[in-house]
Amino acid sequence: MGKWDGLDRRKFPRVNYPCLVVLRNNDSMEKEVLLTHTENVGMGGICVTLKKNLKMFTPVELEVDLLDLSDHIKCNGKVVWNVQRKINERKKPLFYDIGIEFVDIDKKELNRLEDIITRLVKNKAEIGNPH
């Protein structure tokens, strides 16, 4: 059996880029605010880590701090996947990884995000392939 190369079926590539996220759950009566972080981001959305699960297709408001000294990206999103981490995982036990798709991100903000992702992908390629 050959080595599986981890086929990436995502529409948009993702990069490891920790950033701060304020998430407002529009599905709850009191518009619950959750402060969290992301470990990876892509042009189509982000993955956040939460202590609680959010149901599929839950609408949310996002505020993402890319830590690049510019204003936070503010847009709407929706939950497109959720996975509970294994109980025996030491780093973040009983947490949920939640995939959120950007719904109405501003074109200017999308361009800013694309610049960051492109730079990170290029840097990773240069580190992985030294001349």
Residue 77 has pLDDT above 70, yes or no: yes
Q: Considering only residues 30 and 63, tell me which one the structure prediction assigns the higher pLDDT.
A: 63
* Long-range interactions of 106-111: CB distance < 8 A, separation 24+: 106/73, 106/75, 109/73, 109/75, 110/43
Q: Is residue 4 part of a domain?
A: no
pTM, entire model:
0.76
Pick from 28-32, 73-77, 83-87 the range whose average pLDDT is largest.
Answer: 73-77
- Number of domain units in the chain: 1
The CB density around residue 75, as the number of other CB atoms within 10 Å, is 18
Tell me the CATH number at 95: 2.40.10.220
Cα distance between residue 10 and residue 19, in whole Å: 21
- Give residue 123's domain range: 14-128
Among the ranges 13-17, 66-70, 86-90, 111-115, which has the highest mean pLDDT value? 111-115
Asked, for residue 89, whether it belongs to a domain, the answer is yes
Q: Is residue 9 domain-resident?
A: no
Q: Could you tell me if residue 5 is inside a domain?
A: no
Return the higher-pLDDT residue of 118 and 7: 118
